[in-house]
Amino acid sequence: MKQRISVFIEYKIKEHVIEQYESQMERVLFEMKKAGITNLSWMKAYDQPFLYVESFDVSSIEAYKTIKAQRLQENHAVYGELHSLIHGGVGKIHCWAFLPQGSVNR
């Protein structure tokens, strides 16, 4: 069954590698688009220095599990490059999936 799943990935980047991280994110975003991810957004926290969040939609729980596994894979050609830039490494990547519960339109 196809269902929109909203995904959030959150992590904190080491202060001294911000430029390297932002450059690497161009490859990450391209890779995610190739994987069929939609509504992709990359955000930087306003009041928490060096904290970043990626949000996007996938079409199934299986797709979520696949992208989550790839993002945590140390030897992934694109995603694995981020791990050394994250404060605390791969263990500090937080990934959550949310199912729609309704919406409010004004």
pLDDT tens digits, 36-86: 899 999 999 999 999 999 999 999 999 999 999 999 999 999 999 999 999
How far is residue 77 CA from its own chain's centroid? 15
CA-CA distance, 94 to 82, in Å (whole number)? Answer: 13
Going from the C-alpha of 68 to that of each of 49, 58, 63, 79, 104, the distances in angstroms are: 24, 11, 9, 10, 29
The DSSP output letter for 47 is: S
Considering the domain delimited by 5-98, tell me its CATH architecture.
2-Layer Sandwich (3.30)
Q: Is 2 a residue whose pLDDT tops 60?
A: yes
**100: pLDDT confidence band, cut at 50, 70 and 90?**
confident
Question: pTM of the full predicted structure?
Answer: 0.90
**In the chain, domain spans:** 5-98
Check residue 106 and give its pLDDT: 61
